[in-house]
Amino acid sequence: MSRRIVFVRNTLAVMIAAVVGGSYVYFRGADLPSAHAAAVNAPLVASNSAPAAPAGPVVAAATDFSGIVQRYGPAVVNISVTGKARKVADDDDNGLDPNDPFSEFFKRFGPQLQMPQQPRIMHGLGSGFIISPDGLILTNAHVVDGAQEVVVKLTDRREFKAKVLGIDKQSDIAVIRIDAKNLPTVQIGDPSRVKVGQPVLAIGSPYGFDNTATAGIISAKSRSLPDDNYVPFIQTDVAVNPGNSGGPLFDLNGQVIGINSQIYSQTGGFQGLSFSIPIDVAMKVEQQLVTHGKVTRGRLGVSVQDLNQALSDSFGLKKAEGALVSSVEKGSPADKAGLQAGDVIISFNGHAIDHSVDLPTLVADTPPGSTKPMEVMRAGKVRTINVTVGEMKQAKNDAKASKSDDQGRLGLAVRPLDKDEQAQLGGQKGLLVEDVSGPAAVAGIQSGDVILAVNGTPVSSVAQLRKLATDAGKNVALLVERGDEKIFVPLALN
């Protein structure tokens, strides 16, 4: 295969798409009254209704989604995030960021035009939808992961700062909350009841265009994508673009059946293949994040793959179904249960395994510590193996709300000036900024700045700075020395 498959999350996909070239890219990134639903579900019309005549082509009437948009559009929100500041420093590239569209210009025209090495603030856009009137919102984990500030905008133009209750990177689900009441909500549907070929509707904010509606059909179900072993994606041909991430996928009844998460593209834009996380998967994650603050999943410790006809023949199977075990982790629950490479798992806890993606999903939903039966085909014979399911270790930083106070309420990592540095400032005391995040990064504070005062009170120690920040209200003014200038910088605190 001559092309390389690349997987990229799409919170900032507008810029990313410009640099991936021709590679294939996965970008990471809602009930109507029964009378109206019946009207929307237009009947199929056959070209020849005579019973003795052969069936003619079946034509579906045009689908009107306007009722769904009108009723549930207000429950779909725009999410804007401010990411962590990061310093750009690379000796080989003269401190240039390879993802910056202007970096090539600066490379071409010499070191005299180097870009300044200073903290950068990452901004991104996404979508989400309200699932409870008191402000609980679902979106994609990659939309808010690492965010210092999350702002939710409603269709009535109200804006709220949101708190990230938890994220789960493995399912790409996040739960956030805004401080509001009596909000419009979506209705949750059942993805297992929808069929391939049925119309679906997406609402989101592609490229920042709020509350944009796009429609298409379900192209496939239970799609397995590389590096996404725990999500049986719903594939559609609905136009989904960067900014749609986290938005809802509706069925004809106006119920949410999925969360738009990824696209498959050569260009970074929509090319007819989009993937949504089934809403039942998302709601299981949401319940655990809200209740426990983390997601617990079962684990076997095996690698599995799909079977084709040749493999099924060689393993004595009548059909190419089941999960072929390609490797077993030593000391894992599967190893302790006696599972071997070459085994074909055809059922788990009474559930048939059709595709290999079915197994990780079933195991992940199993409580760790419980013992479940598996039917395994080995050497042409079916045997039952009981396995005690282990617990999957969470990815680092999963299920944790993004914090804006990692470096204090202000988002500053500082140290007192040494004697030489004080001498350079004419003997003045202060705190040297070594790193920034959160409110300080948003306000434009930079590494190398010297904090001289907080709300008019001179500061000379970290403890003093923290106390002043703790006692401050929602806003604080820092007196900063930068180069030969002293400036006041206002910070809006969470």
Please tell me the CATH code under which domain 412-492 is placed. Answer: 2.30.42.60
Residue-by-residue DSSP string for 424-468: HTTT---EEEEEE-HHHHHHT--TT-EEEEETTEE--SHHHHHHH
Structure-token match 């003997």, residue found: 427
Torsion of CA 165, 169, 172, 173, to 10 degrees: -20
- The catalytic site residues sit at 142, 172, 245
Kindly report whether the global pTM for this prediction surpasses the value 0.85. Answer: no
- Report the distance separating Cα 210 and Cα 324, nearest Å: 45
Q: Could you tell me the CA-to-CA distances from 162 to 64, 72, 148, 331, 397 in Å, in that order?
A: 34, 21, 11, 42, 19
pLDDT of residue 93: 44
Phi/psi class of residue 171: alpha, beta or left (left: φ > 0; alpha: ψ in -120 to 50)?
Answer: alpha
pLDDT of residue 472: 79
Task: Show pLDDT as tens, one digit a residue, over the chain (494 residues).
Answer: 433 333 334 444 333 333 323 334 454 553 333 333 333 343 333 333 444 444 555 555 568 999 999 999 999 999 999 875 444 444 444 444 444 444 433 333 333 334 444 555 677 899 999 999 999 999 999 999 888 889 999 999 999 999 999 999 989 999 999 999 999 999 999 999 999 999 999 999 999 899 999 999 999 998 877 666 678 899 999 999 989 999 999 999 999 999 999 888 777 778 889 999 999 999 999 999 988 888 888 999 998 888 888 888 877 778 888 899 988 999 999 999 999 988 999 999 999 998 888 898 899 889 999 999 999 999 888 999 999 999 987 654 444 443 333 456 788 888 888 777 777 777 788 898 887 777 787 778 887 889 998 888 899 888 888 888 888 777 788 888 887 788 888 888 76
pLDDT of residue 395: 53
| Residue set of the binding site | 142, 172, 243-245
pLDDT of residue 59: 52
| Residue set of the binding site for substrate | 142, 172, 243-245
Same fold, 298-391 and 412-492: yes
Please report, for the chain, the start and end positions of each structural domain, with discontinuous segments joined by +: 187-292, 298-391, 412-492
Cα-to-chain-centroid distance, residue 10: 8
- The closest of 257, 315, 297 to 129, measured between CA atoms, is 257
Please tell me the CATH code under which domain 298-391 is placed. Answer: 2.30.42.10
Please tell me the CATH code under which domain 187-292 is placed. Answer: 2.40.10.10
Residues 6+ apart with CB under 8 A from 232: 221, 222, 223, 224, 278, 281, 357, 358, 361
User: Encoding tokens for residue 212?
Assistant: 């944009």
